[in-house]
Amino acid sequence: MKSQIRRWMFPVFLCLAVGTMFGQQPGLPSPRPQLPDESAPDSKAPHQKKISTREVEEKLRKGFDPKNAAYAGSNIQAAVNDQSVTLTGTVTSEGQREMAVQLAKAYADNRQIVDHLVVQQ
């Protein structure tokens, strides 16, 4: 009787040992990668979505408004496409130019910033 028990216990023990070594253990990543659900809604966070050219243009137009005290006396235009934001026009100081470039970078969403601003003397 003991030999019969040993005969079936060894394969069961072996399966449990191998299963523990290669199976899913708590705290370890799943052995199979999880594929995204194609039917699920877009799960990208808002800051990861591509901002449209029109949205970037509108935000920069509002930001560069000469009525804004930071850009008083300036005349800044932003030409936006899918690859770049080109700043043209005039600013009253180097500081104003830097602020304009930083604002453009903030809204550019991976677009290259091209600075053609001229500092008025």
N- to C-terminal Cα separation, the chain: 104
The pLDDT tens digits for 41-73 are 554 455 456 789 999 999 999 999 988 899 999
b/e per residue 30-68 (b: at least 16 CB within 10 A): eeeeeeeeeeeeeeeeeeeeebeeeebbebbeebbeeee
Query: Structural domain boundaries of the chain?
Result: 50-119
Q: Is the pLDDT of residue 104 over 80?
A: yes
The pLDDT tens digits for 20-38 are 555 555 555 555 555 555 5
CATH placement of domain 50-119: 3.30.1340
> Token digits for 42?
């877009």
What share of the chain has pLDDT > 70, as a percent?
A: 60
